[in-house]
Structure 1
Amino acid sequence: MASSTSTSTTVATSDASTQSHHLQGSGGVHGHTPAPPPPTPSNQQASKSLPSDADAAFSRFLHQLRIAPSLSSSSSSFSRYSRLSPISSPSSSHPLHPSPPLVSLLEPLPDLLSVAADLGFFHLANHGLPSHLPASALLESQSLLHCPTIPTTNTSSLGFNHEDDDDGDESDDKDPIFVFEPDWNGLESFPSLVEYAKELERVGLEVVQMLSSSSIPGGFPESPFRERKARCLMWVSVCSSIAEGEEGMEVGTMRSGKAYPYVVGLQYEMKEWREPSWVLGDAAEWIPVEPRADSILVTLGDIAQVWSNGRFKKVRGRPQRTSPHSDGSSDSGRISLSLLVTLPLDSVISPLLPLAADDSDQGIADVGDGGCNDGARRFRTFTLEEYAWRIYHERFPFKDPLLSYRI
């Protein structure tokens, strides 16, 4: 700006000097004062071209100064969004990912369910959960994780032997988890938490029924739990915390936590939530999900994808919430409660194909990646125990954990 002022002053002075020179020359004619000789043509051409060239160069210089900050800001913004930082993310949903649909449990629309199957997650409304229950359960879960008589990281609830769970990972000491079944009798001191788990169990089983082929094209061809026993697990854990000064931390560096295979996962969205939840999508990308107050975030898991023969997209693991502050002033805000609808550990997992799939060309609709319309199996049969143990310890491998079971 100083350079601009200086140049403008110089040009103005030059014009004034030229005007004064002509006035003096005019006065000399009338006052009989000898006038200076006129400039030569070469000097006159140079005096006209030099200011023009200087102005052009200066204009180009100002143009570059005006463009440079815009490019820098745009590059910085793109880099920030491409990293998907949980702290610097915008309040609205990321533009690269569509917002998940809001599905009513009472009147599910097939079109919305189809979109939910393509994404692997959706919001659930009209679930009938008592409004006071989630907050009460959250407070009791805080006391549960600090109860000295109840062990945390109780892998025995999952069916694993505690002696075999030493995988050298020290994160369990930092982020304790507690897993229990809703009908377990060891939590009499936490009645709200138990009631909350039972309510989510009810909703979860209704969601599985909702995903049958009668409600959604290409869904489960039968009621999965008509001949199978469901097992529901309430998963109490601590959210990943981000200390002050870590605003630039990338989502990929978040601790993803322990994982366990499931059909559907349910996580109630509190009205106090402001930060998005993050889900690890089927293509191994972190996706922000803005909370919908008093709704339930439903995620489709590994078992749902196999049962649908690849029709459903899945979410790897549970949704992750990050706590921007870790000063300990509000521990209840760092607790995560998720209910997983799964199967007994000795179950065998395989696609639920229609009975006529082997004798006709009618099959599951080809809507998502990995889907098929020829009725052919896309996954081989495997045991849940083998798969559960592997993904529990591998912590979201880079490759799809179901890749080795695909046909």
Structure 2
Amino acid sequence: MGSNSALYAPCPPLPNVQELVRSDPFQVPERYIRNEKDISNYADLCPPQLSSEVPTINFSLLSKGNKEELNKLDQACKEWGFFQMVNHGVEIEIMKGLKDSAQKFFKLPLEEKNRIAMPPNDIQGYGHSHVDQILDWSDKLVLVVYPQQYRKLEVWPPTPFKEAIETYSTELRRLGEDLVRSMSLVMGMEKDALLRLHQELVQPMSVAYYPPCFMPDKVLGLSPHSDKGTLGILMQEDDVPGLQIKHEGKWVPIKPLPGAFVVNVGDITEIWSNGKYKSIEHRVITNESKARISYSTFYLPHQNVEIEPLDQMVLQSPGSLPVYKKVKYGDYLKQTQKMKKEGKAHVTEVAKIGS
């Protein structure tokens, strides 16, 4: 989890996508262009109105243990793996402060941003956290914010962006802990049981910049994938859509709700729930005219935690049998890092029994 972590494969330096667009907005290098199969999948979309069917959870009611809202959480995680969350208590000023600071940071000259460049043997800093065969049309700032001993302050951005990240992440810490408590309840445990299973709740953050692209149907801002942690919370731009999730074999655009967060189930929740709640593939598309910035917060167990289906979730499964084997979380990360990054075949290959 710390510096020079063996959990992550070394990453060679990659071109800065924002600079590629600045130097020639009508050039898309071959390394970013998707193959014909990927491109044909772009049109494989659900009807736009299905976006409005993505569940919305009232966090204020949920955090108070409201039974109806807990039931909605259970259904959302089971049927969608994603939901939008309103009435979360994070002040608009805090959210706007982070967005304003990020906008200013990405407008800095490349030399300034590269002062906090991601080292080749770690994931924290500005740059790219891994290399796919086909590159994503985006640049990122990735930081581990909690626990504080995992921070690499030498790759944190300067003031005021640093303070905005600190303020926002403190609020997201509260939010994440409360969400994990609610997940614990819907999984049939006492309120703090799931938090204890984490040993310590590790909280990375990714701020991603997706430049416009004059060939938006040929690239992806973020490849299809599932998250490898417990939960993720995303703050979107209110006026620039881009996130799509896979639902019943088709891609559903997630229309931003002003002031709301998007929450998704990760691989570890899928394993703990014995597959009742599944981590869902999601991706980001680009557009021709406007850049998009997104703000993702993730919640992970400590790398030494052993993950396996919970007994009460196994009992709810067909035949009362576990679908996943026991795996140490750090080993899960190391094994999945070596595999193809797109999709979620890694869950089956690393964690499913019989694979």
Please report the TM-score for the alignment, with normalisation by the length of structure 2: 0.68
The answer to whether the Cα contact below 8 Å between 1:85 and 1:250 also exists between their aligned partners in 2 is no
Counting only pairs closer than 5 Å after superposition, residues 24-173 of structure 1 correspond to structure 2 as 83-85=41-43, 93-95=48-50, 99-108=53-62, 109-117=69-77, 118-144=79-105, 147-152=113-118, 156-157=122-123, 171=135
The answer to whether the Cα contact below 8 Å between 2:206 and 2:295 also exists between their aligned partners in 1 is yes
The answer to whether the Cα contact below 8 Å between 2:142 and 2:204 also exists between their aligned partners in 1 is no
CA change 1:395–1:131 in 2 (3 A) is farther
CA change 1:266–1:147 in 2 (3 A) is same
Deviations 1:182-215 (A, max 9, x none): 4337246220122112211211111111112x3x
Match of 1:261 in 2: 228
Q: Residue 285 of structure 1: CA displacement?
A: 4.5
Deviations 1:63-87 (A, max 9, x none): xxxxxxxxxxxxxxxxxxx85449x
Q: How many residues align?
A: 287
Match of 2:189 in 1: 221
The answer to whether the Cα contact below 8 Å between 2:226 and 2:267 also exists between their aligned partners in 1 is no
With a CA cutoff of 8 Å and minimum separation of 6, indicate the structure with the bigger relative contact order.
Answer: 2
Structure 1 letter corresponding to 2:73: L
Match of 2:143 in 1: 179
The answer to whether the Cα contact below 8 Å between 1:302 and 1:402 also exists between their aligned partners in 2 is yes
Distance 1:177 1:263 in 2: 21
Aligned Cα root-mean-square deviation (Å) = 3.6
The answer to whether the Cα contact below 8 Å between 1:103 and 1:124 also exists between their aligned partners in 2 is yes
CA change 1:103–1:170 in 2 (3 A) is closer
Distance 1:341 1:138 in 2: 21
CA change 1:291–1:346 in 2 (3 A) is same
The answer to whether the Cα contact below 8 Å between 1:93 and 1:99 also exists between their aligned partners in 2 is no
Larger radius of gyration: 1
Q: Which one of 257, 264, 283 corresponds to residue 292 of structure 1?
A: 257
Q: Which one of 301, 307, 313 corresponds to residue 266 of structure 2?
A: 301
CA change 1:250–1:261 in 2 (3 A) is same
The answer to whether the Cα contact below 8 Å between 1:277 and 1:322 also exists between their aligned partners in 2 is no
Distance 1:397 1:220 in 2: 32
Match of 1:382 in 2: 327
Match of 1:231 in 2: 202
CA change 1:114–1:312 in 2 (3 A) is same
The answer to whether the Cα contact below 8 Å between 2:48 and 2:252 also exists between their aligned partners in 1 is no
Q: Unpaired segments of 5 or more residues in structure 2? A: 1-39, 63-68, 107-111
The answer to whether the Cα contact below 8 Å between 1:265 and 1:340 also exists between their aligned partners in 2 is yes
Match of 1:203 in 2: 175
Distance 1:286 1:395 in 2: 20
Q: Which one of 320, 324, 334 corresponds to residue 284 of structure 2?
A: 320
The answer to whether the Cα contact below 8 Å between 1:121 and 1:300 also exists between their aligned partners in 2 is yes
Distance 1:179 1:154 in 2: 15
Match of 1:345 in 2: 303
Q: Residue 392 of structure 1: CA displacement?
A: 4.0
1:406 and 2:349 aligned = no
Q: Residue 226 of structure 1: CA displacement?
A: 2.3
Q: Residue 170 of structure 1: CA displacement?
A: 8.1
1:193 and 2:165 aligned = yes
Match of 1:243 in 2: 213
**SS of the residue aligned with 1:309?**
coil
Deviations 1:26-59 (A, max 9, x none): xxxxxxxxxxxxxxxxxxxxxxxxxxxxxxxxxx
Structure 2 letter corresponding to 1:288: P
Structure 2 letter corresponding to 1:119: W
**% identical equivalent positions:** 18
**SS of the residue aligned with 2:271?**
helix
**SS of the residue aligned with 1:279?**
strand
Please report the TM-score for the alignment, with normalisation by the length of structure 1: 0.60
Structure 2 letter corresponding to 1:334: R
